[in-house]
């Protein structure tokens, strides 16, 4: 009787860095709800935030677009205004903050490549510089560099390695020899990763417990250990090919049988 071969594989993931891209329906729903919320909000207590007679108050007042007041003997076909504290109570209240030079300018257009380039040119030490949000799409996305950790920021990426023997893409997998048994599966997988990818990598093993088992036809039992990369880089020493891929990309690249056994472990 041959002792069964045990392998320990590492499902190394990079968790999302930015919030997910919301589908159209969800987005429209949030927008609708926000409009309703604004409509039902209480009037902004201007007098609390801006003391009377101050410069700030004057600037704030100047920036506001005030609603039309009620006039006597004038016909309002769209309804008579109902003003309280400078707000028409029938509608939402738009608060406009007076412009300053270090104003927040959020670039909502995500496909704006020049934005991030421009921010690089700024003097980062200048505190008074205008705040600009970075783009959610990086240069690595544009280049479609699948070895980079800075791609697909709203998604979870998983490390896959090409097996030199059969040219198949799999999670990094390491054999458990008898003398290693007292280390535990998770340590074997982590050490194996550092053996092939250098030790300039910081990972956090989720648990000692394996998340899944793949039983191969040739009697190999492959246990999957989950781990997250925190810092550093996977830098293969033996010029192994590797990729950081999303769930859908993994489905395209691995065999169907392999994918059917791991797909429930992969998150969005």
Q: Find the DSSP H helices in 99-227.
A: 113-121, 139-143, 185-197
Q: Which is nearer to another protein, 94 or 252 (CB)?
A: 94
Residues in the interface with another protein (CB under 8 A) total 96
Contact segment (CB under 8 A) with another protein among 85-93, 95-103, 158-166, 246-254 equals 85-93
CA dist 249 and 226 (Å) reads 19
The pair of three-digit structure tokens given for residue 173, joined into one six-digit string: 């997998």
CA dist 37 and 116 (Å) reads 33
The answer to whether the CB of 27 falls within 8 A of the CB of 209 is: no
CA dist 226 and 127 (Å) reads 41
| Residue from 62, 99, 239, 264 in contact with another protein (CB under 8 A) | 264
Interface with another protein includes 24 (CB under 8 A)?
Answer: yes
Q: Which residues pair with 214 in a beta bridge?
A: 222
CA dist 204 and 211 (Å) reads 15
Q: Which is nearer to another protein, 235 or 255 (CB)?
A: 235
Q: Find the DSSP H helices in 79-184.
A: 113-121, 139-143
Q: Distance between alpha carbon 204 and the CA centroid of its chain, in Å?
A: 19
- Minimum gap (Å) between residue 239 Cβ and another protein: 19
189 φ/ψ sector (left φ>0, alpha ψ -120 to 50, else beta)? alpha
Residues in 152-171 at the binding interface with another protein, rule: CB under 8 A: 153-154, 156
- Minimum gap (Å) between residue 188 Cβ and another protein: 9
Interface with another protein includes 34 (CB under 8 A)?
Answer: yes
Contact segment (CB under 8 A) with another protein among 94-102, 163-171, 224-232, 248-256 equals 224-232
CA dist 268 and 153 (Å) reads 11
Residues in 234-263 at the binding interface with another protein, rule: CB under 8 A: none
CA dist 264 and 247 (Å) reads 10
Q: Which is nearer to another protein, 74 or 165 (CB)?
A: 74
Contacts with another protein, 165-204, as mask; x by CB under 8 A: -----------x----xxxxxx------------xxxx-x
Q: Which is nearer to another protein, 50 or 249 (CB)?
A: 50
| Residue from 7, 210, 246, 254 in contact with another protein (CB under 8 A) | 210
Residues in 97-136 at the binding interface with another protein, rule: CB under 8 A: 106, 119, 124, 133-136
Contact segment (CB under 8 A) with another protein among 95-103, 160-168, 222-230, 249-257 equals 222-230
Neighbours of 11 (CB within 10 A): 22
């Amino acid at each position: 009787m041959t002792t069964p071969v045990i392998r320990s594989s590492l499902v190394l993931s990079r968790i999302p860095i930015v919030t997910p891209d919301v589908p159209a329906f969800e987005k429209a729903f949030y927008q609708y709800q926000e409009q309703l919320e604004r409509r039902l909000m209480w009037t902004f207590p201007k007098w609390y935030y801006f003391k009377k007679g101050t410069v700030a108050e004057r600037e704030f007042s100047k920036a506001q677009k005030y609603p039309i007041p009620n006039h006597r003997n004038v016909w309002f076909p769209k309804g008579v205004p109902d003003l309280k504290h400078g707000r028409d109570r029938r509608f939402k209240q738009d608060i406009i903050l007076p412009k300053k030079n270090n104003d927040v300018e959020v670039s909502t257009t995500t496909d704006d490549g020049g934005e991030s380039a421009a921010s690089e040119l700024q003097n980062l030490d200048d505190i008074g510089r205008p705040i600009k949000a970075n783009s959610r799409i990086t240069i690595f996305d544009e280049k479609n560099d699948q070895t980079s950790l800075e791609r697909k920021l709203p998604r979870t990426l998983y490390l896959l390695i090409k097996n030199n023997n059969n040219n198949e893409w799999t999670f990094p997998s390491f054999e458990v020899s008898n003398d290693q048994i007292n280390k535990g599966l998770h340590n074997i997988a982590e050490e194996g990763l550092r053996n092939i990818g250098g030790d300039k990598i910081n990972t956090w093993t989720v648990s000692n417990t394996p998340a899944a088992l793949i039983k191969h036809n040739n009697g190999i039992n492959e246990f999957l250990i989950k781990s997250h990369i925190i810092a550093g880089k996977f830098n293969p020493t033996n010029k192994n090919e590797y990729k950081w891929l999303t769930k859908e990309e993994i489905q395209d690249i691995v065999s169907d049988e392999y994918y059917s056994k791991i797909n429930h472990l992969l998150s969005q």
